């Protein structure tokens, strides 16, 4: 267990060092890295909304049926708690996905203004006066 923690620490330090080296060297263009990720997120948000909506609805209906079929008071209370938790989770996930879709343009703009720090060194030319 301790060996695994040490490996994770070393990996984290290497990643931090590599990021610092790249930012100092000015060789990282964040737009090239972020654009495919943003496009991927944008392309999967609507199907993800559909999947979460359909899956959550089916799961809540299933839990509702179990709640209705429960005969003992303890079992009814257990199913009622499960149904409440499922509805809360379903609504929370749905709200977070919608918020991500709404806030995506602002996040892209923020990323472009703060993260697009491409400090490529400009070549200096020696000028000679005749």
Q: What is the pLDDT of residue 118?
A: 46
Tokens 């089916």 sit on residue: 58
Mean pLDDT of 5-34: 66
For 28, other C-beta atoms within 10 Å of its C-beta total 19
**Where residue 125 falls among pLDDT bands split at 50, 70, 90?**
very low
What pTM does this model have? 0.53
- Distance CA(76)–CA(79), nearest Å, equals 5
Nearest of 30, 93, 22 to residue 57 by alpha carbon: 93
């Amino acid at each position: 267990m301790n060996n695994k923690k040490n490996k994770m620490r070393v990996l984290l330090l290497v990643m931090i060092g590599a990021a610092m080296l790249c930012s100092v060297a000015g060789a990282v263009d964040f737009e090239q890295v972020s654009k495919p990720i943003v496009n991927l997120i944008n392309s999967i948000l609507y199907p993800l909304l559909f999947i979460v909506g359909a899956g959550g609805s089916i799961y809540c209906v299933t839990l509702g049926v179990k709640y209705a079929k429960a005969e003992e008071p303890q079992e009814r209370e257990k199913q009622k708690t499960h149904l409440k938790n499922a509805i809360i989770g379903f609504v929370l996930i749905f709200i977070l996905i919608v918020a991500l879709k709404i806030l995506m343009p602002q996040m892209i703009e923020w990323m472009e203004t703060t993260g697009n720090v491409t400090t490529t060194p400009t070549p200096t030319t020696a000028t000679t006066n005749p």
